[in-house]
Structure 1
């Protein structure tokens, strides 16, 4: 233990709070919370302490620690969640890619709300449902909702004065607010049905729809009654597929896990009104040596910290390490009591065993799939090494692509595959600055020079950049030499890259290009292309790498182009500052939307006046 820690530990208060362990570089190694900071920190550095292997290794690396005193253990718990999410400490069990989990969002500040996917939860008056494990699971849910409930799927500004509706209206997939077929209150009834369905309260929807169907039938509105009948039948079909449990009308979540090495598969079953309405799974990382209770505690804190909804009961596979503090925190969030416990008998115990079995099965499938992918990727890299006559296996591959529109807003991308898999933390994007007009070869030369100049000469200084360009970022991404550099393009692009390598004196990094038209590989000093079999794993690998570079480049190009378009159109309108500009874009979706809106609609935007609206319309 460092000698200076003893005095600091004695001075540490015996109060609730969060502690942060840092390594020699200052990087955060571990974040934890404690009811009494002094006692918890002393336990780490006690000479005869018996810690799990992971904690012993962490303590060896600690060069500094700090703490934040909190008013309560619940406040410390919330702060701990935020710090783990922000810093991703390597010794904390945490949700894999927790920032990217998607939600369903309904913006209730709109007169005619849309239902869509988002990855950001804000306190903005919207309702959120989730998190979901993947975007595909959200899309499946949204597709189901659209079949059941006729809310709008368009993004247009609703005035009620459109001359004709879209196809959705004619096939009863939208109630037609765009043509004034319904008012705000009637449309809100549809959205309330969506809420009830997502909350697992389909029975209430069915009762309401059946009542409305009878009213329509009695009023001789047979077409409307038939539409409601079809909607009832569709909801009943889904409702019947939800497993009925012997849990009365209880609402609860059940959580179990299966761990394997440094990962844990978290299985969650959602029971609403006594019915199993859904299930999902999540992956926790850095779980090696952690007990089941510790992993469950970490998951429950991180999962419900981002989840807008907390059920009154949470059933877990094992006792949490800090149940009381988590219950208090979640009760405050729910605004009514939340209980967390391990079921001991009966239907809940049986259901928990089923959740645990699903977790074990999921973990086993993940293990088998990982082994299969590893074998296939290994074969692909070996084939590529042989085809290109590479000196080593291409474990780290970098691919470069250029994107522009007739020479405007030119950008470049660098993507990295490590062991055959994307390593997004090493991706870089480039603003092309020294090339005018349409000249892809010069753009490629500029990008590669900026990337490899520092690798060829670590002491070289490259000018700082701004506006999202991460090409000059620091870190190990710049220090690692790739085993293969792949260029998206043909012989000309390869020649431009080779010129940069020769100028920088780089001779040890293999270079190749992939031409899209015939999927041919070119390498320097070989006039004929290398054609891999269409079913070759090596070809699939380089295609994935090339396609990822293209996706990354074109996404950045569109962002730059969109930003420039917005800036050029609205930035110079007299009296329109950043806030008003943001409100206009938020209300109408784009500059084109502002252009198409009526003068009255623009004037009705918060912060706008009729005079300012006139200036905007004149300017556009």
Structure 2
């Protein structure tokens, strides 16, 4: 292998527009002809010589050249990396497999800041049987595998192994003591407690020979490997023979042994009927983080589960995440490679990774994406666990007071605010091809969602795919209401549409009917809009028209997660690991979720009216009963007359009328939300008549307040 280093470019350091030092990539760009076209691994170093990024390439020349194009054309995270770096060097290897191995070694050695970082780097416990010892023992082991030791697992927790072993020792009383305890018992001629209670065959005192104990350990391994049917049948036959011979105590013990083994088997139910060994890996991700979940299946049974969470500090897609996860899982040599490795997306290219896994296993490894059957169903379960893992991680992160405080402080510093934004409001626009235009307003106080303050808006003054105009209208409407209710000349103003004295508090006017503060009485310290420069300019124009200049404003563009400020030509780019960026993203995503949920409900009502309202003899009550019973219009359209008759209040004649009416109308074509690019699908069973998007259903609907923007201010 040949190592080539490129000259140091630290002298070309210049400040960026935020005053931070930034290297000029042109100062350390290698000459195009100096970069080889062979496979290799490369390292970017900063001005202090620290490795900040490690990558591999099938051909080094085009890959490295791609980093030195115009910075404006690079992804924001890639641009940050190349401007932080001051030099680049590479190592030429013989094959792509060698590049994969070297890349993993360097990532583990240098821990580069711009590479994927897995937070969970611990070893997981496994059930081990030391067949290489004179008297094999069963124990919990971690770390690298040893020759002559039979492993089962890994398990998520050591206590899960001990529970299984405790059930198994009743039938297979294999030694579990340490070497010290074994030698001591052999010296004094007395077994330990397990030997007295029948959970150890006590080879230490000669109750069982070495050959008999070795055979017992082999039977234990066979049962753990999934060969259970024959052994249980033998036990059942022995139990019947003992009962026939009136050896009832022995028959009862065999019966209890069968029950114990059955309970142990229930802890590891069969999930793959072909009894295969496989690892299933799934990934759940957003723009900032990704959760990896792995199920270890041995002998068709789930033997263990593990998960990681990673910060996406580099521009990385799902295939690359899968490749990094496989490196993390098998690269350290502590995890055996099974016959099949099932993933949600194949690495690009998949050949070197599969060859690398085959080399680790010593025989062919099938790396693929499951398409059907039990393996596809199990992959869905693993994917669901990954999504729950990511959601749990976000929940823990959001609930930490220190983290929230740091996030608010980072936002204040990045946007140059006078104080931290304790109240943040975010607006989002949603529509379907210009129809059913709606907007949402979500509120976060002290970094936490305040769902009672959420508001949703109908925009009826115009239709069309004009998000900028809609944003201007919504922001203007919200703050007109605020101006009506804010303090004027030392007193709280009475809204124009109401007469008479109003009760007030120190925080603002109180609604005499509900006793609660009015809906728009509190201004935010920070107003966030979902979008880039055009949306920010529209919101700023709405505030200027109302004479409001004491509310900070920014926009969060989804594609590159850039923060846009009014009147700025360049965005503010927060670090990918920034808690402030994470909070802004969570606020923006919540506004989007709330808007799309409302838009979905409106579309569902409109679609239902077109499908069911014209059916003769079908009133509102029975329409709702049908939709509630079937959950979606697609399922209702596919129902038979007999199935329709099962709905309370629907007779056969009405059922036949409904079926005929739905059959005479072709299903509606799928619609696309042009604001988000999502395909709206009404085939999912959501429990309502409305369609759902690719986002998760709204499981915790906040208090909804609808404001029609057709009123006259």
Contact persistence 2:343–2:369 (CA under 8 A): yes
1:197-208 mapped onto 2 (5 Å cutoff): 198-203=224-229, 206=232
1:509-528 mapped onto 2 (5 Å cutoff): none
1:144 has 2:175 as partner: no
Q: Which of 75, 79, 84 does residue 107 from structure 2 map onto?
A: 84
Contact persistence 1:145–1:194 (CA under 8 A): no
Contact persistence 1:85–1:98 (CA under 8 A): no
1:304 has 2:330 as partner: yes
Q: What is the TM-score of this pair, normalised by structure 2?
A: 0.46
1:290 has 2:316 as partner: yes
Q: Distance in 2 between matches of 1:208 and 1:60?
A: 70
Deviations 1:227-267 (A, max 9, x none): 56534321222324544446443432222121245432212
Q: Which of 323, 346, 353 does residue 326 from structure 1 map onto?
A: 353
Q: Which of 209, 212, 219 does residue 186 from structure 1 map onto?
A: 212
1:10 has 2:33 as partner: yes
How many residues are aligned here?
375
Give 3-state SS (helix, strand or coil) of 1:68's partner: strand
CA deviation after TM superposition for structure 1 residue 357, in Å:
1.9
Q: Distance in 2 between matches of 1:162 and 1:106?
A: 26
Contact persistence 1:15–1:69 (CA under 8 A): yes
Q: Distance in 1 between matches of 2:281 and 2:99?
A: 23
Contact persistence 2:154–2:305 (CA under 8 A): no
Contact persistence 1:312–1:337 (CA under 8 A): yes
Contact persistence 1:200–1:277 (CA under 8 A): no
Q: What is the TM-score of this pair, normalised by structure 1?
A: 0.53
Q: Which of 143, 161, 184 does residue 120 from structure 1 map onto?
A: 143
Q: 2:60 maps to what in 1?
A: 37
CA deviation after TM superposition for structure 1 residue 204, in Å:
6.1
CA deviation after TM superposition for structure 1 residue 107, in Å:
4.2
Q: 2:494 maps to what in 1?
A: none
Contact persistence 2:126–2:151 (CA under 8 A): yes
CA separation of 1:119 and 1:237: change in aligned 2, threshold 3 A: closer
Q: 1:616 maps to what in 2?
A: none
CA deviation after TM superposition for structure 1 residue 175, in Å:
1.7
Supply the RMSD in Å over aligned alpha carbons: 3.6
CA separation of 1:117 and 1:23: change in aligned 2, threshold 3 A: farther
Give 3-state SS (helix, strand or coil) of 1:356's partner: helix
CA separation of 1:225 and 1:26: change in aligned 2, threshold 3 A: farther
Q: Which of 315, 335, 338 does residue 365 from structure 2 map onto?
A: 338
Q: 1:63 maps to what in 2?
A: 86
Q: Distance in 2 between matches of 1:109 and 1:143?
A: 24
CA separation of 1:228 and 1:146: change in aligned 2, threshold 3 A: same
Q: Distance in 2 between matches of 1:217 and 1:75?
A: 64
CA deviation after TM superposition for structure 1 residue 168, in Å:
0.9
Could you list the runs of 5+ residues in structure 2 that have no partner in the other structure? 1-24, 407-713
Deviations 1:404-441 (A, max 9, x none): xxxxxxxxxxxxxxxxxxxxxxxxxxxxxxxxxxxxxx
CA separation of 1:83 and 1:272: change in aligned 2, threshold 3 A: same
Give 3-state SS (helix, strand or coil) of 1:328's partner: helix
Structure of higher CA gyration radius: 2
CA deviation after TM superposition for structure 1 residue 77, in Å:
1.6
CA separation of 1:195 and 1:172: change in aligned 2, threshold 3 A: same
Q: Distance in 2 between matches of 1:168 and 1:228?
A: 19
Deviations 1:506-549 (A, max 9, x none): xxxxxxxxxxxxxxxxxxxxxxxxxxxxxxxxxxxxxxxxxxxx
CA separation of 1:112 and 1:358: change in aligned 2, threshold 3 A: same
CA deviation after TM superposition for structure 1 residue 346, in Å:
4.0
Task: Determine which structure has the larger helix proportion and give its number.
Answer: 1
Q: 2:202 maps to what in 1?
A: 176
Q: Distance in 2 between matches of 1:271 and 1:250?
A: 8
Q: Distance in 1 between matches of 2:247 and 2:91?
A: 66
CA deviation after TM superposition for structure 1 residue 174, in Å:
1.5
CA deviation after TM superposition for structure 1 residue 182, in Å:
2.5
1:376-387 mapped onto 2 (5 Å cutoff): none
Q: 1:27 maps to what in 2?
A: 50
Could you list the runs of 5+ residues in structure 1 that have no partner in the other structure? 380-620
CA deviation after TM superposition for structure 1 residue 165, in Å:
0.9
Q: 2:460 maps to what in 1?
A: none
Q: Which of 295, 299, 302 does residue 269 from structure 1 map onto?
A: 295
Deviations 1:140-180 (A, max 9, x none): 21332233133333223445454211111122222212212
Q: Distance in 2 between matches of 1:175 and 1:246?
A: 34
Contact persistence 1:297–1:320 (CA under 8 A): yes
Q: 2:453 maps to what in 1?
A: none
Q: Distance in 2 between matches of 1:51 and 1:132?
A: 42
CA separation of 1:364 and 1:182: change in aligned 2, threshold 3 A: same
CA separation of 1:26 and 1:285: change in aligned 2, threshold 3 A: same
CA separation of 1:100 and 1:352: change in aligned 2, threshold 3 A: closer
Give 3-state SS (helix, strand or coil) of 1:357's partner: helix
CA deviation after TM superposition for structure 1 residue 295, in Å:
1.0
CA separation of 1:251 and 1:156: change in aligned 2, threshold 3 A: closer
Give 3-state SS (helix, strand or coil) of 1:6's partner: coil
CA separation of 1:240 and 1:99: change in aligned 2, threshold 3 A: closer
CA deviation after TM superposition for structure 1 residue 203, in Å:
4.1
1:73-472 mapped onto 2 (5 Å cutoff): 73-121=96-144, 123-133=146-156, 137-149=157-169, 150-157=173-180, 158-159=182-183, 160-196=186-222, 198-203=224-229, 206=232, 229-245=255-271, 247-260=273-286, 262-286=288-312, 289-305=315-331, 306-374=333-401
1:478-489 mapped onto 2 (5 Å cutoff): none
CA deviation after TM superposition for structure 1 residue 303, in Å:
0.8
Q: 1:452 maps to what in 2?
A: none
